[in-house]
Amino acid sequence: MDFTMGPAAARLRGEVRALVAEHVPPGYLGAFTGDPADLEVAQRFCRLLAERGLLCPAWPAEYGGRDASPWEQTVVREEMWAHHEPRGAQYMGVNWVGPTIMRHGTAEQRRAHLPPIARGEAIWCQGFSEPDAGSDLASLRTAARRDGADWLISGQKVWTSYAAMAGWCFLLARTSERERRQQGLTIFLVPMDAPGVEVRPIGSLLGPHHLNEVFLDDVRVGGDAVLGEVDGGWKVVQEVLSFERVGIARYARCERLLQTAPRVLGDAWDGLPAELRTRWARGLVQCRRARLLAYRVIALQGGGRVRPGDAAAYRIAVTRLDQDSAEVLMDIVGLAPPEGPGTGEARRFRLAVEDHWRYSHASTVASGSIDVQRMLLARALLAAP
């Protein structure tokens, strides 16, 4: 299996890595830390990518892309996640908000929203989960009711990433009561500065991050805020979640950290217990497996087919990889010598592993719990001919 995707992708990967090395400080662990300088790094780097046509290369040129293949977009996605996402919050708009608006939006919605995303200027958040509707998303209670030509939206969303800085929310609300809960749901494109929108940050033992609650109190939006058909939002959501779940190349960061470990430890690597090095090798195999499953979903998306079972299989594999690799890496750094050659790199590696370990705890819950993914995969397998 050729993981390089050919010479063009290899050149692109080299270009992206060179930009990261030049513009992202060593030891960078993401935009959402206690240091405001990290967010500034992400905002500058995002604009740089946009200027070079690397923020959303697979988008059509008319929307700010360069008509590149999905595999070139995959290269960018992998390198961004491997280096702690120096695009900041932009991956959401690039990976699935923009593509969904392309497929389901009106010409006016595409003109209004796609160019700002492609320039790295627009930040989006996702208004899906609620206090009583997380993995069981269809049970949400946020409701939108007609008021003349407008809609009034009221309810509460939770675990909303980037809500405090986002300009727009991709929001799912109930617009009618139907026999099946998945029916009667509609997607709205809601400006976050609209009257009636309140954002409250959610504290965490993991440290500074980007999670929030969002309260909506008769938020008025026009009919042009509806994406797709009224009461037809569930079909779009299924597509969105498939794009979202493959849109974060978690395997790329796991593989980079695993591959870095022997170099950082140097001679101490040979002194590690054989059992630990076996787990390390098994982690690299898991990385390859998750990568292949991701590539399968990307190939299906490129052909216009999005199958929930394939996305679920990838999601199960990559979230388990996230947690298994984090445990192995923590055991490795726990046995590493505290001093020695390359101490600066060793310290940065230790901090990156600790960061990876902290956030891996949520990976089997975020974007749909692993139990729900198993149910989706089982249904797909049972429904197969």
In this structure, the number of other CB atoms found within 10 A of the CB of residue 300 comes to 16
Dihedral pair phi/psi, residue 201, rounded to 5°:
-70, 150
- The per-residue pLDDT for 362 is 81
DSSP letters, 55-100, are SSTTS-GGGTS----HHHHHHHHHHHHHTT-TTTTHHHIIIIIHHH
Element (H, E) at 378: helix 370-383
Between CA 184 and CA 230 the distance in angstroms is: 8
- The per-residue pLDDT for 350 is 92
- The per-residue pLDDT for 335 is 84
Element (H, E) at 254: helix 250-265
pLDDT digits (tens, 9 = 90+) for 70-125: 889 899 999 999 999 999 888 789 888 998 999 999 999 999 999 999 999 999 99
Between CA 57 and CA 47 the distance in angstroms is: 14
**Whether the predicted pLDDT of 206 surpasses 70:** no
Q: Which two tokens stand for residue 56?
A: 């959303």
- CA–chain centroid gap for 17, Å, is 20
Q: In which residue are the tokens 């690799």 written? A: 325
Q: Which two tokens stand for residue 9?
A: 């992708």
Summary count for the chain: helices (H), strands (E): 12, 8
**pLDDT greater at residue 239 or residue 22:** 22
Q: What is the mean pLDDT of the chain?
A: 89
pLDDT digits (tens, 9 = 90+) for 253-299: 999 999 999 999 988 999 999 999 999 999 999 999 999 998 888 88
Percent of all residues in the chain with a pLDDT value above 70, rounded to a whole number? 92
Contacts of 47 (CB under 8 A, 6+ apart): 119, 120
- DSSP three-state, residue 73: helix
pLDDT digits (tens, 9 = 90+) for 338-369: 655 456 888 899 999 999 998 888 887 776 67
Q: In which residue are the tokens 């509806």 written? A: 226
∠ CA 297-298-299, rounded to 5°: 90
- Cβ–Cβ < 8 Å for 140, 126: no
Q: Which domains does the chain have, with CATH numbers?
A: 7-88 (no CATH), 126-231 (2.40.110.10), 249-383 (1.20.140.10)
Banded pLDDT at 2 (limits 50, 70, 90): low
Between CA 84 and CA 260 the distance in angstroms is: 15
Q: Which two tokens stand for residue 150?
A: 């407008």
- CA–chain centroid gap for 307, Å, is 18
Between CA 162 and CA 88 the distance in angstroms is: 10
Annotated active-site residue 22? The verdict is: no
- The per-residue pLDDT for 3 is 60
Q: Which two tokens stand for residue 280?
A: 């390390």
Between CA 159 and CA 125 the distance in angstroms is: 10
Contacts of 72 (CB under 8 A, 6+ apart): 8, 9, 12, 57, 58
Catalytic residue among 244, 255, 275, 327: 244
